[in-house]
Amino acid sequence: MRKITAPMTPVLYFHGFASSPASAKITALRPLLEPDGIELNTPDLNIPSFEQLDFDAIVAFARERARREPPRAMVGSSMGALIALSLARDIDVPLVLIAPALGIAARWKEHIPAGDPVMMFNYARGENAPIHRAFFEQVGRLHVDDEPPRSRVTVIMGRQDETVPFEVVAETWERWRASGKLARGSKFVELAEGDHGLVAHADAIREAIVEAAR
């Protein structure tokens, strides 16, 4: 008799800056989520290329992917959290934001080295790569994290994050909480030993994604 396989629950996952769908975190999460029937949909967000990265084009591409295969939840890692928040304006599903780049848009622009293009370490390539300065100017003008999303959101943040300041993300969360606009069930998960990658905390991330996708 032919075995009938239940359909997997789709979750849209947005990787971070200078990363890819083959990131260490995604690789760690896939087998952890499979027993829960959750499939990560992980589009490559280097649109049109890393060298010519365009935030608006990334959001448009991500939105099309979400409309083509509606997700049960959306996950954003680091800069990917800003993509998830951009889509959350018109796609009302629970969010999981991992080491999110909240509240740092203007600060990021200020700390970028001089010159154009800018040389940045690309984790997907394992080497430095050029990227045009216009991308950082785009990100510096973002306001997608000024207000909390309308959907339930879980923020997972490590105290030892070496890339995104924990205090800045915590301040953004407190501002969201004080606004009274956070959806019921939203929460901030603080990992005392967590770094920016949070690969060692994949189980905690898995738990948040499973809860979001229910």
**Residue ranges covered by each domain of the chain:** 9-212
**Looking at the chain, how many residues does it have?**
214
From the DSSP assignment, how many helices (H) and strands (E) are in the chain? 7, 8
**Among 1-5, 149-153, 182-186, which is the least confidently predicted range?**
1-5
Per-residue pLDDT averaged across 54-65, rounded?
A: 98
Pairing of strands 118-122, 127-131: antiparallel
> What share of the chain has pLDDT > 70, as a percent?
97
pLDDT at 4 over 60: no
Give the model's pLDDT for residue 111. 80
Calculate ∠ Cα 29-32-34, nearest 5°: 105
Per-residue pLDDT averaged across 154-172, rounded?
A: 96
What distance in Å separates the CA atoms of residue 69 and residue 41, rounded to the nearest whole number? 9
CATH T-level topology, domain 9-212 = Rossmann fold (3.40.50)
